[in-house]
Amino acid sequence: MITVQEAEQILADFQYQPNWQFTLIPYRESAFDRLAIEIRAIFPDTYGLKDTIEAKWGKAVPDDTTSDTFLDVMWDAISELESHERAEWFVYKGNRVRDPHGPGLGVTMQKENPNNVKENRPDGMVPDQWYPQDEKVNTTNPENKGNTGK
């Protein structure tokens, strides 16, 4: 089993994309009741309500992980987050084909959503509930198709 010190050293020597941050969460503080990796990454907002969002993703480190297999766990965690974001951007004829937030009520956000994407939100939340009113909302670029222009 990998020690916290070994995992911290691997993270200290690890690099990935700009705006991605990796943190080791100790056993006692982890929601998984075991050692975990937390990833925070900045992405363009797929809902078009803000310019960017900070995604947070957690991955439990399996008990049988060693210092030789820890990078595999990190690869899996990155792949899961990238897959989630890819599913949010995968839109056909105004519908998310593989909504990572699950099938549900099929809420359509035509007024608030400049991309006119129909959502399948299982909880029926509307955009006001996702982002507090005092946060910056991107309403100036109705033609936003996912290109950040950078």
Residues 103-116 have pLDDT tens digits of: 543 433 333 444 44
What confidence tens digit (pLDDT) does each residue in 40-57 have? 999 998 888 889 999 999
Considering the chain, what percentage of its residues have pLDDT values greater than 70? 63
| Residue with token string 């890819």 | 86
pLDDT at position 149 over 60: no
Provide the phi-psi class of 39: left if phi over 0, else alpha when psi is between -120 and 50, else beta. beta
Q: What is the pLDDT at residue 48? A: 82
> What pLDDT, on the 0 to 100 scale, is given for residue 147?
30
Amino acid type, 30: S
Q: At 68, is the pLDDT very low, low, confident or very high (cuts 50, 70, 90)?
A: very high
Residue 58: strand pairing partners? 38
pLDDT at 20: 96
Residue 51: Cβ within 10 Å count: 16
Q: Give pLDDT tens digits for 10-26.
A: 999 999 999 999 999 88
pTM of the model: 0.66
Sheet holding 36-44, edge to edge: 20-25, 36-44, 52-60
Closest C-alpha among 3, 24, 26 to residue 14: 24
Burial of 67 (0-12, 13-18, 19+ CB in 10 A): middle
Binned at pLDDT 50, 70 and 90, residue 31 comes out as low
Confidence of residue 88 (pLDDT cuts 50, 70, 90): confident
